[in-house]
Chains A and B, each alone.
Chain A
Amino acid sequence: MSDVVKCLNKLEIPYIARGAGTGLSGGATPLGGEVIISLVRMKRLLDLDLENRQAVVEPGFINLKLTQTISGKGYYYAPDPSSQNACTIGGNVAENSGGAHCLKYGVTTNHILGLEVVLSNGEIVEIGEHGVPDQPGYDLLGLLTGSEGTLGIVTKITVNLLKNPEGKKTVLAYFDDIDDASQAVSDIIAAGIIPAALEMMDDIAIEGVEAAAYPVGHPRDIAAFLLIEVDGIAAGIDDQIDDILTVCKKSHVREVKVAKDEAERSLWWANRKMGFGAMGAISPDYLVQDGVIPRTRLPEVLARINDISRKYDLRIANIFHAGDGNLHPLILFDASVPGESERASKAGSECLQVCADVGGSITGEHGVGIEKSAEMRFIFSDEEMAAQTDIRHVFNPDDLLNPGKLFPEPGRCVEVKHGEKKATV
């Protein structure tokens, strides 16, 4: 890898490290002329140290495969993006990926103990040696994780492993009114419960997943459902479930049920995790956004997204990690209809503007990539962005590493935005 990077450097050819290509912001999509360095064949598990709850993997190692390898011994790797059966841990590091269970367990950066990185001059450095992440000095691990391939190429990753929770229960709650569902989300957190996952889907999203590969048989006349999972020490689980049921009832839930066995629980999760791909069953194309908002503003934001949907005459499905306020509006469109792609991209941008307006952020877990680089202006001033590009310059002085991503380039943002939508649909 070091030699390849040195060679590209010498020839001044820009390059991109790529994993499985499941990203949702176009981070690994070339904008023109970049050499793609595919890391999928670097897929070995280099070391497994259960005593210290650590594993060392190459960047092409598949996320879910790690959990599958160690689950028999009672351990798992917590970050679980919905694409976990295909996405690579290297890609997860680049995008600082989240997942349904990051409400309680945190995103990728909270589970990375060390990285081996090839810098843009070809030099190989190790950060967080021997799995001790808290080295004196600046938090370089934190800086590298989520840098979207603009600071270096990760070639080895030391991750933290968790012990399987002793107990786990999953609840499905159907609501007739989306505001009631949103209220229940806030009330659950306010009641002091931190569920492992707290997911929400609205009616259009339900239409999609029920038409796709893992239908659950959700009622089709509900406004939304919540999928809530609690885990931890077995003794406390039932009390938490009781509290959740009470909160849901207070919010006028129509029906609420606890998964009766692992098979039912798995089906509920497959239905949820395949949600994005399932949109293919009801729409030729979709554009997924990834805004974050304060939980309590949920009803207001959903109403404004609904306004955007009407304004652009495009259906918008909502699948989101409600517990941490991470919205995924899925804008459904048909790229073969002239003008519809442009309308979809404008609608997506407006959704992010709403998130920024209420004090949130333009991305929770999908990264900025090419998709949201222009929208970085919604939350950062020019000075703030200059400070960040100065950091990039230290690692990547000639801008050969994944150029054109993450930050809008002065005078180029309109053009970049134009290329974006194809990358994500």
Chain B
Amino acid sequence: MSMGLADLLKGKKSRHEAAAATESGAGPSNATAVTEAQQAKKTEPSCQSNPLGNYIWDDVPDATKWADCVHCGLCLEACPTYQETGEEQNSPRGRVYLIKSVAEGKISVDEAFADPVFSCLDCRACETACPANVQVGGLIEEARGQINQAMPLSGVSGTFKKTVLNKFFPHQKRMHKLGGMMRFYQKSGLQKAARKTGVLNVMPDHLKDMEASLPEAGKPVLGRYPEVVPAEGEPKGRVAILTGCVMDLMFNDVNESTIRVLTHNGFEVGLPTDQGCCGALHIHAGERDTGKQLAKQNIEAFQDYDKILVNAAGCGCALQEYDELFRNDPEMLPLAKEFSEKVEDITKFLYDHDFKRPASEVNTTVTYHDACHLAHGQGVRSEPRQILNDIPGVKMVDLPDADRCCGSAGIYNLTHPEMAGKLLDRKIDDVPDNIDMISMGNPGCMMQIAMGVQKYGRSEKVVHTVQLLDWAYEKDKLKAHEYEL
């Protein structure tokens, strides 16, 4: 890739570093200073040159997005929060109308506006339902960016955003350390002790439920695997994968499966070590500046690859929308566009590249849950189902309303536990009887649904679609090995 990109990215970074130095009093040391300085910056809104009605802060929402909306209301019933509340302001049409009203100067950016905008799951079900392709998700994220600049963050969600989102996710080392701490907590007996002594009772119920269903943290793939994993046999092509934060921390076995499945299909797999968090959680939460920093990091880290595969739907969708993020940045926009076009979901890629059909049977009954950012966000619905159908022995049973949000929605289950809980209850209620596994393509959903399974004392195993394929391949390999012996 050209020097231009590196210069551009570096140039931007150093400008921010300079800002960090002046504002925090610290030297231009590392990325930590950058994000913390940005946080400090947030308290004093930066008035930008082109305000739009009552949007007076940097990075104003895109007026062309609401111009497409004619208020027909076909989105209403697709919206989980409207289904639950029946309130217009908690429907996509209501939210778009409010966002437009701020731009028209009819209402201001205040609590009353922030509530419905933040109660949105950003699940994009309305975008599937919309006859005019209104990008509601993008509008919500842009409006949240304005709210975050307008109002000092308060309450639990604000603290969460300030600490976890900005102090952990952007930093790989801290995330890995967090993983190490979790492994220690789970393996040392502390978890058992904590559960026994009732220390956990001081936590809110939804956090207790979450703690109870945490998967066993393994060792992240990134840094442990070589930067390039060779293909099995004659290489058919070269791809990179985004290992992700939550995925690599909580579901590193899914990442291992992903690598094995790809190499088995003849692809050389790149794991660029400079990659970072995709920024989806930040962008959804309106933390657009941190999101942009992470986006730049990834654009640079993956510049040598033509295909970037993602096994986490939320991350994949965010990477595909980097161009939206840099809408108002003419320098970054072309780079972001080029990057976004390279990104694809792992199941779509495998299906489109005529993946090897496994011969061994995996005898299990499976239902498939559509992750919002896979079905609504990326339009990937049939490919994962086709993959499951092509594994011998897998019996598929339909999940009713499979593409209705499970309530995970990034950090939504932490910021809006009540609504998230209701949606989880409905999701678990929909899972048909006599199912062995629930398959899906997103780590947030995997944690949320695993929590539901645990909470209701059910026995279904929560798996990623590529894991099932991997297990079938592993059986194939074992048989081939036995045959050789």
Question: Which A residues are closer than 8 A to B by beta carbons?
Answer: 20-22, 38, 40-41, 43, 60, 62, 65, 83, 85-87, 212-214, 274-281, 284-286, 425
Contacts and interface: CB of A to CB of B under 8 A. Distances in A.
Contacts of B70: 276-277, 279-280, 285-286, 425
27 contacts: A20-B77, A21-B76, A21-B88, A22-B72, A22-B74, A40-B86, A41-B86, A43-B86, A60-B86, A65-B77, A83-B72, A83-B73, A83-B74, A85-B77, A86-B73, A86-B74, A87-B73, A212-B132, A214-B131, A275-B131, A277-B131, A278-B131, A280-B67, A280-B131, A280-B134, A281-B133, A425-B70
Interface string B70-90: 111111111000000011100
Contacts of B78: 85
A62 B77 CA distance: 8
Given A213-B132, A276-B70, A425-B70, 16 more contacts: A21-B73, A21-B88, A22-B73, A22-B74, A38-B86, A38-B88, A83-B72, A83-B74, A85-B74, A86-B76, A213-B130, A274-B74, A274-B131, A278-B131, A280-B72, A281-B132
B211 interface: no
B214 interface: no
A277 B88 contact: no
B229 interface: no
Nearest to A274: B131
B132 A279 contact: yes
Contacts of A38: 86-88
B129 interface: yes
Interface residues of B, number: 22
Interface string B276-306: 0000000000000000000000000000000
Contacts of A40: 86
A277 B132 contact: yes
A212 B77 contact: no
Interface-centre pick from B76, B78, B129 (highest chain A CB count, 10 A): B76
A280 B68 contact: yes
Interface of B: 67-78, 86-88, 93, 129-134
B243 to A, nearest CB: 34
Contacts of A65: 77
A41 B90 CA distance: 13
A276 B70 CA distance: 9
A43 B76 CA distance: 14
A35 B406 CA distance: 35
Which of A62, A86, A87, A279 is the most central at the interface, judged by chain B CB atoms within 10 Å of its CB?
Answer: A86
A284 B68 CA distance: 6
A65 B74 CA distance: 13
A86 B131 contact: no
Contacts of B74: 22, 83, 85-86, 274, 277
Nearest to B94: A21
B132 A278 contact: yes
A62 B79 CA distance: 14
Which among B74, B86, B129 has the highest number of chain A CB atoms within 10 Å? Answer: B74
Contacts of A214: 131
Contact of A20 (B67, B68, B76, B131): B76
A281 B71 CA distance: 13
List the 8 shortest-distance A-B pairs measured between CB atoms, nearest first. Answer: A277-B131, A280-B132, A274-B131, A22-B73, A40-B86, A277-B72, A41-B86, A280-B70
A281 B68 contact: yes
Nearest to A39: B86
A273 to B, nearest CB: 8
Contacts of A279: 70, 132
B329 to A, nearest CB: 26
Nearest to B67: A284
A62 B86 CA distance: 12
A277 B86 contact: no
A278 B69 CA distance: 9
A266 to B, nearest CB: 15
Contacts of A285: 70
A276 B72 contact: yes
A212 B131 contact: yes
A154 B73 CA distance: 22
A276 B73 CA distance: 11
B16 to A, nearest CB: 37
Contact of B131 (A22, A43, A276): A276
A280 B65 CA distance: 10
A311 B86 CA distance: 43
Contacts of A87: 73
Which residue, of B68, B73, B131, B132, has the highest number of chain A Cβ atoms within 10 A? Answer: B131
A337 to B, nearest CB: 12
Contacts of B73: 20-22, 83, 86-87
Nearest to B127: A213
Contacts of B132: 212-213, 277-281
Contacts of A277: 70, 72, 74, 130-132
B341 to A, nearest CB: 21
A64 to B, nearest CB: 8
Nearest to B68: A280
A233 to B, nearest CB: 31
A180 to B, nearest CB: 28
A62 B78 CA distance: 12
Contacts of A85: 74, 77-78, 129
B69 to A, nearest CB: 6
Contacts of A41: 86
Contacts of A280: 67-70, 72, 131-132, 134
Nearest to B76: A86
B191 to A, nearest CB: 42
A212 B69 CA distance: 12
Contacts of B88: 21, 38
Nearest to B93: A21
B79 to A, nearest CB: 10
A260 B243 CA distance: 44
Given A277-B130, A277-B132, A279-B132, A86 B71 contact: no
Contacts of A284: 67
A213 B76 contact: no
Contacts of B67: 280, 284
B84 to A, nearest CB: 10
B131 A425 contact: no
A4 B41 CA distance: 50
A285 B72 CA distance: 11
B474 to A, nearest CB: 36
Nearest to A23: B73
A186 B26 CA distance: 82
A286 to B, nearest CB: 6
A214 B86 CA distance: 27
Contacts of B71: 425
Give the most central of B71, B73, B75, B77: most A CB within 10 Å: B77
A296 to B, nearest CB: 32
B406 to A, nearest CB: 21
Among A22, A285, A286: residue with most chain B CB under 10 A: A22
A83 B78 CA distance: 12
Most buried by A among B69, B73, B129: B73
B128 to A, nearest CB: 8
Contacts of B129: 85
Contacts of A425: 70-71
A411 to B, nearest CB: 30
B400 to A, nearest CB: 10
Q: Which of B69, B86, B93 has most chain A Cβ within 10 Å? A: B86
A203 to B, nearest CB: 19
Contacts of A278: 131-132
A342 to B, nearest CB: 19
B125 to A, nearest CB: 12
A40 B90 CA distance: 13
Contacts of B69: 280
Nearest to A270: B131
B12 to A, nearest CB: 35
